[in-house]
Amino acid sequence: MTHNLIKKVDDKFMNKKLPVIKPGQTVEVDTIIRDGDKTRIQKFKGLVISVNNDRSRKTFTVRKVSYGVGVEKIFPLYSTNISGIKVVKEEPVRRSKLYFMRDRLGKNAIRVKKGKAMFVDSENVEMYDAAQEDVVDTAVVPDSIAPNTEAETPVVEEAVSDDRQAKAE
């Protein structure tokens, strides 16, 4: 009985068409700012680091770095003060709470990238997916990182141009 009443009240507030918000997304939130009898829309663009609660009480935390200072805002998803949410980009993440982003500095403080570890073998290079630890791709070792099998390295003689030879004489 009480669940039905709560659901009816929740459905009344959950009538907005909003995108699915997940951690790792870069979103642009349009908030309505009321100043006396004037209203304006202010945009807040940043990385979603967490999503909390459920149904009409759902909130999400957005973090951005502004002039070298980290700024976080917690937005209620179904608030009347939010006029729109736009997902700018989405990066795959392995955690539901990205609180480790608070410790990062510079450009790393706003970027989430799925990295791949590279292990160099003497004969071939294997790409490992850091999340699954499976071999993703096997490639031929470029000459720049291949071990030198020759006993001696050849000496490269510098070619002297005709102008330098004329000056030397």
Residue 110: name the closest of 72, 147, 160 by CA.
Answer: 72
Residue whose structure tokens are 């736009």: 86
The verdict on domain 2-112 having CATH code 2.30.30.790 is yes
Give the mean pLDDT of 57-82.
92
Decide: 50 and 102 in contact? Cβ < 8 Å.
Answer: no
Q: What is the pLDDT of residues 28-46, one digit of tens each?
A: 999 999 999 999 999 999 9
Q: What is the pLDDT of residues 71-105, one digit of tens each?
A: 999 999 988 899 999 999 998 888 899 998 888 87
Decide: 24 and 112 in contact? Cβ < 8 Å.
Answer: yes
Decide: 47 and 101 in contact? Cβ < 8 Å.
Answer: yes
CA distance 169 to 158: 18
Q: Which residues share a beta bridge with 58?
A: none
pLDDT at residue 156 above 80? no
Decide: 90 and 24 in contact? Cβ < 8 Å.
Answer: yes
CATH 2.30.30.790 occupies which residues in the chain? 2-112
In this structure, which amino acid lies at residue 105? L
Q: Which residues share a beta bridge with 40?
A: 33
pLDDT at residue 146 above 60? no
pTM to 2 decimal places: 0.62
pLDDT at residue 111 above 60? yes
Burial class of residue 134, CB neighbours in 10 A (0-12, 13-18, 19+):
exposed
Q: What pLDDT is attached to residue 114?
A: 59
117: Cβ contacts below 8 Å, ≥ 6 apart: 128, 130
